[in-house]
Each structure stands twice: as C-alpha cells, then as structure tokens.
Chain A
C-alpha cells in the first residue's frame, strides 16, 4: 500500500502516513485477483491471517491463524507466518506488502539480497560506467531502488537513496526518494523521461515489488522503450525469468516478452519477462 507514495511498507505509524499521502489499499483487489485464478480450490486448505491481514478478503471457508491488535506490525506478519508453517502450510503467499518477506529471516534458500562479493562489485562498476556514459544530457532519468542502480549514481558522484526512486538530469540530482506524485510532476517538466531499474530481490521483479512508486500511470507515460534494465550477470544467472506485477494486468502483459538487460560494457542478456 505504501509503495506508490514512496513509503517502504505500511506497518505501524506508516499506515497513517500512507493514507495522508493519498495511498489506497491494494491488498483487497490483488487478493481477489489471486484467488480468482486458483483452480481446484477445494483440494487444499486456505490459512489466512486475521482481519485486514487476510480474513476480510478470503473465502469464509478459510481457517484464520493467530490474533492481532487493531494496529498490525511486521512482528505480526512474522509470528503468523511461522504459525502457518507449523500448522503444515506448504506454501506462503504474501499479497501486497513485500517488505516483510524480503527481510533476511524470511528468505528461502536461493532467494537472497544483493550479493556483494568482489566479482559482483567489479561487474557492477563496469556496467555502471557503461550506463553513465550512455546517458543523454537533456533527459530526465528516474533511478529505481537497488545497489546496481545506486552504483550508476555513485559512478557519477551523484547521491542516491538505496531503497527510493531518485531523479537526475545532466548528471545532477533533481529529486530524492520520490513518490508517484513527485515523479509525475517532474515528468511534466521534461520532454523525455528514462527509467533505470534492476530486478528486485531473488525473484527478479522488475516492477511490482520494492518499487511501487513506478505506478501503472508512470510506466505507461514512460513507455517500454524508455526503460533501461541493468543487473549483474551473477544475479541474472540465478533467475529463471524476470517478472512484473504492477497490479494492472493489461499493462503487465505489454512487458511479456524478452527484454535486454545491460550486464556489462556493450553486453546485454535478453531475458524473458513473465507476468
């Protein structure tokens, strides 16, 4: 819920702030969409968290696991997820907030935060320098979250938030930790907008996880041709495919093809995008 307004989650006090910034809950619609696509629902039990954390949007036949107070926190998510696993849950599905399951304690083997070994670091520096050299002076560049994108800003000596969306023009910062509103306002001032992103987390999400500031409206205005994807070879080689899940299925389908990912100096890997 907090993604589009530039917040990293809506646990605790952040929920109130998200509402003030104009965010609406995305979970109900996404849950309905998800459940609507499951076949053979009578062949397994559905365990859900209480109240707004799941129960309200799930079928009545679902089993409610755990209890929460009126305000929910990341600790509630962790405790209830563990309880679900101890009750035999074979699969945990997180709908909406992706911050908590990306915390290291929740990562499954093979799903990991960005690697920082020496080869990966060197590879990031090479591709960062290549992308920085390719940037056009008059265009607005929106830089998404992640260490690989940050490496591009670092190579240009421009400050960059690790988890936020920042903007630069001509190698100078023009916006920091922007939300959707801020992004759209900046886009109004420039003829050409380019967006630089890296797959987020171990599952390879280009959009829809960790960078919800890039809302369907932002993405439609930028257009697919305005999007540059960067990643280290090491990271790509661990992914089956890239994924998009913006919440707008029609938009997601426009990405369902192959996309070139810059992995080095004059080097691209074309990866399948799935939605």
Chain B
C-alpha cells in the first residue's frame, strides 16, 4: 500500500471488521474449488433483503462498474446513450465506443443540477439513460422520483441509476423496479461496506435487464463472496462507519470554507472542492496527500477528495493550509 494519505478513490478509510476478514481467510483453503451455487444464492438473498426487493431481481457481478459496462455492451448498440456530464468516466468511455450515439447533458453550474427538459427531449428514439445518483464527481443528487418516472414513461427507453453511494444519500428507487421492466439500479459493496478490494457489485434489475443477464453467471471469487456475506449479515459496522464519514464530511466542509475554498454540498463520502490553485492536486501529492484532480471534467482548480479518518482529514487540512499560506506569500511578494 502507498505511504501517503489516499483520498483519491472514494474508498472507505476503515478496514473491514475482524469477522469479515476471518470469513475471507476461512475461504482460502477452498480456493481449488469453484464457488458453490448455494453461496451465490445466499448472497443474492442477503442483498435482496438488504435492498428490500425480491431475490430474483438481484444480479451480482465483479464490481458495479463492470455491470454498467455489461449493460452498455448489451443494450447500447442500437440506442442513443444519454448521460450527465460530468459523470463516472469509465461508463462514458464504453458508451462512446459502443453506443449508436452519445448525448451528455452538462450539469448546470454553480449548483450542478440536471435539467430535466433537455434530457427528456432526447428520448424520442430508442435510448439508454445512465445517471449516477448521487453524481460523481460533484456529489449532488440529480434525480427525484418524478424525473425517474418521466424517463421510465418514455417509449423504448431504458434507465440505469448508479446508486454506488446510496448508503450516504439515503435515496433509492428500488421500490420502482418491480413495476418497471426498463429500470435497473447499480450498487456496490466497494464504498459504504468498505470492501473495494473484494469487488462485489450488484444490480436491482427490472425484467428487461434480467432477461439480458439470464445467460451470464458470475462465479465470484470465494474470499470476496464470503467477506461480503459476512458484512451483509452484520451491517451495523457499515452504518456506524457511514455516520462517522458523514460527520467528518461536515467538519471538512467547515474547515475548507474557513480556508477560502468553495466546497459543494455532497450526498456521498467525498467532496468536490474548487480552489484558486490550478495545480492543487499536484501540490497536495507533493505533501503526501492523494486527491483526484477533476480539472479535466470541470476546469482548473477542481479536486475531488474522499472523506478519510479524522487523522487523514487533519493531514489533508494541514497540507491544504500550507499550500494556501505559501500562495498568500507569493501574492504578497509578486
């Protein structure tokens, strides 16, 4: 692992609890065997129970990003892909390559909202709409129930909502999936559950998506599956960490604002920050703090940082303050 403070990939900073690590460890002695079907069935049931849907609606895969990729590969060839801009880049890249057309709706600044009408106007031909809610990298919720229902009512339109940060936003459209064959939600255990290294993603899928995935079957690695199963059996640890992260997120916001940064309201475990220093990500890296430079999506001075442990966040604030103090001196002596 890197020796720096890693706030660049929106990971949970807390390691899994001992029971989850032990479950993964126990599975190692069976690595000569394929994962048992009963273990797959078990995790689908646990995920269904957790999401409040039927087990038949759950599709599991090695990371929600790869499930989104599969959806694009299955459906985008004859369709217009419609997304927000900015959004999760790997999905854009695969849509750019495989969709018949790609249309992105630029989020309206400064609040980074998604305008509904320009989006609906595009859905006059077969379409695949993929929206991350909350949005990455802005952290904002883009969709409400009315907009989702409007999209779902458009003819020959499929909607995929990426709910990777659901545990932090508290907003889901899971209750709509049973009634809408054209809706799927992509989720992950990478973020709130802190199992990024296990790579367990899942879809809560309407019938159209279930049909497409009926012939594919994911034999997920045993250690990942056992760790995920144990984590789902004891979700209290995850919810406690989510509360800590949200508490730290508000503290980080306040401290950054005092230092003159523009911090955008977030419904996730990360913050979008705008400063007057275009090279901020590089300068933080020089001080041992890794954050994501999102200037290529939003312009100079924008960074995205995951909320870390209180110690990580203090280190970030110290580094940020030292950069700003040096900039202040440069301005004075210029």
Contacts and interface: CB of A to CB of B under 8 A. Distances in A.
Nearest to A271: B106
Nearest to B83: A269
A124 to B, nearest CB: 16
Interface string B271-309: 000000010000000000000000011111100000000
Nearest to B105: A270
A237 B86 CA distance: 8
Interface stretch (A69-77, A94-102, A260-268): A260-268
B96 interface: yes
B106 A269 contact: yes
A41 to B, nearest CB: 25
Interface in A247-273: 257-258, 260, 264, 266-272
Interface residues of B, number: 24
A236 B107 CA distance: 12
B100 interface: yes
B115 A267 contact: no
Interface in A53-109: 109
B123 to A, nearest CB: 13
Given A266-B101, A267-B102, A240 B110 contact: yes
What secondary structure prevails in chain B residues at the interface with A? mixed
A238 B299 CA distance: 4
Contacts of B117: 258
Of B85, B100, B117, B301, most buried by chain A (CB within 10 Å of CB) is B85
Contact of B298 (A237, A264, A272): A237
B255 to A, nearest CB: 25
Contacts of A271: 106
A176 interface: no
A240 B106 CA distance: 9
A270 B109 contact: no
Interface residues of A, number: 20
Nearest to B297: A237
What secondary structure prevails in chain A residues at the interface with B? mixed
Interface string A106-137: 00011000000000000000000000000000
Contacts of A269: 85, 103-106
A239 B108 CA distance: 11
Given A238-B299, A240-B109, A110 B278 contact: yes
B118 interface: yes
28 contacts: A110-B278, A110-B299, A110-B300, A110-B301, A237-B299, A238-B300, A240-B109, A240-B299, A241-B109, A257-B118, A258-B115, A264-B102, A267-B96, A267-B103, A268-B102, A268-B103, A268-B104, A269-B85, A269-B103, A269-B106, A270-B103, A270-B104, A270-B105, A270-B106, A270-B122, A271-B106, A272-B108, A272-B115
Given A238-B299, A264-B96, A272-B106, 10 more contacts: A237-B85, A237-B298, A238-B300, A239-B299, A241-B108, A257-B118, A266-B100, A268-B104, A271-B106, A272-B108
Interface of B: 85-86, 96, 100-106, 108-110, 115, 117-118, 122, 278, 296-301
Interface of A: 109-110, 234, 236-241, 257-258, 260, 264, 266-272
